Amino acid sequence: MPFFDKSKQKWRGVVKHDNERYQQLFDTKKSAKEWEVKKKEELKKQATETPDDMPLRIVCSKYLDFSELHFSAKTHWEKKTTCQRLVEFCTGGSDENRPEKNKPLKEITVDMVGSYLEEQAKKRSANAANKDRKNLLAMFNWASKRLDTRINPAVKIDRFSHDRQAKYIPQEKDVLKLLAAATPEEKVFLDCYLNTAARRSEIYRLVWNDDINFEKRQVRLGTRKTKDGSISYEWLPMNQGLHDSLYWLFKNRKFKNSPFVFVCDHHGKHYGKPYTTRRTFMRDLCKRAGIEKTFGFHALRHYVASILADKHKVSTKTIQRILRHKSINTTERYIHRLHSDLAETMELLNYPEKNESTPASTPGRLKKG
């Protein structure tokens, strides 16, 4: 029951629950009593709630806070947009004032998430829906470990089947055109791709003191392609061409106080800062080089893998080490062979007895018998 606190000249509401004491001051006894009733109901409700009673939007918010600290900006953005779409789908809109906004996690069913992913497959693509599924799986698994939830509706949903589109791989003549049209600084930037097969973020992240070792002729590349989003580093040998390019840039760099290898020198808000993106770089350079079909940075990574496999006959296992893939199946998707190793075998299918009545262009036939 409330009592009058003479020292404060106010009514004090008091509630005891599980050896805890909750209290608050009020101007009237009625207000204090109403607060006590409300507080008791609140505490009783909290005592019976489980982590699965947490609203979906709160789970998403907590996961995105974790994601922002542990993953790259691109990965975090992908996870953020996935969560936003799911919350809007499950609650009927993005307006936080809607009564459905606090829909608890326990009400998010397998059918609900499945319907969301099916809608994404229709609106965007099966591949996009699979990316959303992967991100939702990661979020629900994280919530299970971090928040002690028991709900993971995405785990029972199968991947969508989809046909992988063949990646465009630039021809060697176009890569040579690209290098010929590039300025000295741009050529160093391209050399880093062509001599390491690195990812774009790995090139942007390069730091002179930590990642470039001219004496040992090594370059260190770091990626966040890890389960916990931490940066995993690996040293690779630096060939003579890359050594000469980077050493030239080091001696002629404009921003000598910057620790980063590649720094924006275009006047504007990013002037003097390390690159985080170069949206029009490849498009403008391809146009300048007179290349008809424009390609991007990632195409260079596929190009290097294909050149090593097809032209230089490097084993897939070795290419996997260079690309730093966890799975050799991923490496196989990067290699676009011409299957020249099958040429001799396919000749065995050719008609064995040629004569004048059998033109050379006649399709081969297997000998009967």
CB-CB contact of 337 with 169 (8 Å): no
Backbone Cα Rg of the chain: 31
- 3-class SS string, 256-298: CCCCECCECCCCCCCCCCECCCCCCHHHHHHHHHCCCCCCCHH
163: Cα within 13 Å, side-chain hemisphere: 2
Q: pLDDT (tens digit, 0 to 9) for every residue of the chain, 369 residues total?
A: 888 888 889 999 899 877 788 899 999 999 999 998 998 888 777 666 688 889 999 999 999 999 998 888 888 999 999 999 999 999 875 555 555 567 899 999 999 999 999 999 999 999 999 999 999 999 999 999 999 998 899 999 999 987 667 778 899 999 999 999 999 999 999 999 999 999 988 999 999 999 999 999 999 998 877 666 678 889 999 999 999 999 999 999 999 999 999 999 888 888 999 998 888 999 999 999 999 999 999 999 999 998 898 888 889 899 999 988 888 888 888 876 544 555 566 666 765 554 444 454 444 444 444
Residues contacting 152, CB < 8 A, separation 6+: 137, 140, 141, 144
Residues contacting 241, CB < 8 A, separation 6+: 191, 195
Tokens for 174, please give them: 């176009």
Domains 56-156 and 172-340 share a fold: no
Residues contacting 253, CB < 8 A, separation 6+: 263
Dihedral sign from CA coordinates of 7, 9, 10, 13:
positive
Q: How far apart are alpha carbons 184 and 187 in whole angstroms? A: 5
CB-CB contact of 184 with 141 (8 Å): no
- The CATH number for 172-340, chosen from 3.30.2180.10, 3.30.1360.120, 1.10.443.10, 3.30.950.10, is 1.10.443.10
Q: What is the pLDDT of residue 331?
A: 86
pLDDT tens, residue by residue, 242-286: 999 999 999 999 999 999 999 998 888 889 999 988 889 999 999
Sequence spans of domains, the chain: 3-48, 56-156, 172-340
Give the DSSP per-residue string, 160-181.
PP-PPPPPP---HHHHHHHHHH
Give the DSSP per-residue string, 122-136.
HHT-HHHHHHHHHHH
Short-list 185, 192, 184, 173, CA closest to 301: 192
Say whether domain 56-156 belongs to CATH 3.40.50: no
Tokens for 279, please give them: 């949206």
